[in-house]
Structure 1
């Protein structure tokens, strides 16, 4: 629900600067890594041909474009993201790919003034874990859905269940100051790891028929892209932008050996552990 103070200011700053720019530059790599989840979300959230769909945290637009194709020319899919660089890229991709029924907005879904009761479905591929106030966000999102409309999103489970995704941080840790203990309630990649917490958030924001399923999907990345992935994203990417050259060299030297157990025949393969969450408005 819209608030008197601007929410998510830290996330807005992050995704309109270094993180957003990195995701723009790495869009082909990241879409390849996350492709299995695109299909999962589109299948779970598909409202039928001609439906209107909202994609929360749409990023560079892969899921929005896929859903727009799925609902057909009589339907529409709108993607919203807090990152202007990513929305600009998504808009250009829709133009180049001639997906006329996909459009994109720069905005914060926690407070955006959506048209009330408009969307037949709301979907998200790893875009809902970054709200300062997730209950307020999901109230606002629910008000954009028609009564009975679908909600379908994926969110990461715990770091312990996603060892590939935490490999870079573990390898870099000996060369960096001790990291603060993560706050499980703070916005972030693993903020929805606790399934019971996710259910409480959705119940408190008025969603019904809530269902959480473990979705463990095999993912892969080309070995040639692996170090770009490891050094540009997440806490290691942030650290490498700040540390001195000697420390950066120590970290980048340690990373290939840390990822070696995942690599075979030119690809790094890993299991990605997420929740597939569905509900009704």
Structure 2
């Protein structure tokens, strides 16, 4: 069996199916939730000075549009993502915003970008899903100009992000078929080990690597909590398969498990992440 191809196919199927459509449905809520992370990325770009930026794993285009606005009229931000429906949503968003942005439906690990064509590469939670991270970041390095900057944000460990696994932990006794996370495979927490991430970037040809922890306060409206955990993550992938009785029981159980994070009309938690910076130094 070609394990690499199986992994690629799994990711493509997931993000062109239920997972991708769930993100589109929750786009407004997720954009508000993750706005602080988009700001962390955009602040690394020179304001109003143009240039070309690549947004990896752009999803529905929130960060792409923010980066395009930061660059100004002389700039261009290009978003790349595996998901057809998310790319379609991103194009619509950019058109409505009048933002100088383009979108490519492709796998950034293998896509033939024009060599040395980007002044910067950014990603908000989009780089943890490659089956061969060294190959992917080497491909991005080829797409970057000499002296280009790379900045991405990735999750730290599951243990440091208990909010993110609350739903699956609470639902597991009721749903034995819940998809298990693979700590050594592509996924949300694949970049938990800072030393590993550093080696990946170094092996891929990036230099001046700096990976620092950030703890970002996040707020979700309490009214959106049930929709959040029933659509996203491992639980969101299979809850629709449950019978009505089981589904009701799961929702009640999981909602109760989130109680420590609920403060009146708000759900509050801290996102434990890495901000990684590197440069494409000529050799």
Kindly state the Cα deviation for residue 181 of structure 1 after the two structures are TM-superposed: 6.4
Q: Do the aligned residues in 1 keep the contact of 2:178 with 2:234 (CA within 8 Å)? A: no
CA distance in 1, matches of 2:58, 2:46: 16
Q: Which moved more, 1:112-121 or 1:245-254?
A: 245-254
Compared CA separation, residues 46 and 236, structure 1 to 2 (3 A): farther
Give matches, 1:54-203, under 5 Å. 54-99=54-99, 101-177=100-176, 182-203=181-202
Compared CA separation, residues 164 and 31, structure 1 to 2 (3 A): same
Aligned-residue RMSD, C-alpha:
1.7
Kindly state the Cα deviation for residue 49 of structure 1 after the two structures are TM-superposed: 1.2
Compared CA separation, residues 223 and 184, structure 1 to 2 (3 A): same
CA distance in 2, matches of 1:102, 1:90: 9
Q: Do the aligned residues in 2 keep the contact of 1:65 with 1:77 (CA within 8 Å)? A: yes
CA distance in 2, matches of 1:6, 1:206: 27
CA distance in 2, matches of 1:154, 1:45: 15
Kindly state the Cα deviation for residue 74 of structure 1 after the two structures are TM-superposed: 0.6
CA distance in 2, matches of 1:39, 1:64: 11
Kindly state the Cα deviation for residue 51 of structure 1 after the two structures are TM-superposed: 1.6
Residue 249, structure 1, aligned to residue 248, structure 2 = yes
TM-score (norm 1): 0.94
Q: What SS is found at the alignment partner of 1:212?
A: strand
Deviation readout 1:40-83 (Å, 9 max, x if unpaired): 01113548711210000000101110010001011110000000
Structure 1 portions without partners, runs of 5+: none
Residue 275, structure 1, aligned to residue 274, structure 2 = yes
Q: What SS is found at the alignment partner of 1:161?
A: coil
What's 1:218 paired with? 217
Q: What SS is found at the alignment partner of 1:8?
A: helix
Number of matched residues? 277
Kindly state the Cα deviation for residue 260 of structure 1 after the two structures are TM-superposed: 1.2
Q: Do the aligned residues in 2 keep the contact of 1:7 with 1:111 (CA within 8 Å)? A: no
CA distance in 1, matches of 2:54, 2:160: 29
Give matches, 1:219-234, under 5 Å. 219-234=218-233
Q: What SS is found at the alignment partner of 2:145?
A: strand
Deviation readout 1:178-219 (Å, 9 max, x if unpaired): 768643221101111111111111111111011101011100
Kindly state the Cα deviation for residue 246 of structure 1 after the two structures are TM-superposed: 2.5
Q: Do the aligned residues in 1 keep the contact of 2:41 with 2:152 (CA within 8 Å)? A: yes
Structure 2 portions without partners, runs of 5+: none
CA distance in 1, matches of 2:251, 2:182: 27
Q: Do the aligned residues in 2 keep the contact of 1:7 with 1:110 (CA within 8 Å)? A: no
CA distance in 2, matches of 1:47, 1:6: 41
CA distance in 1, matches of 2:124, 2:46: 14
CA distance in 1, matches of 2:82, 2:212: 27
Compared CA separation, residues 7 and 243, structure 1 to 2 (3 A): closer
Kindly state the Cα deviation for residue 148 of structure 1 after the two structures are TM-superposed: 1.3
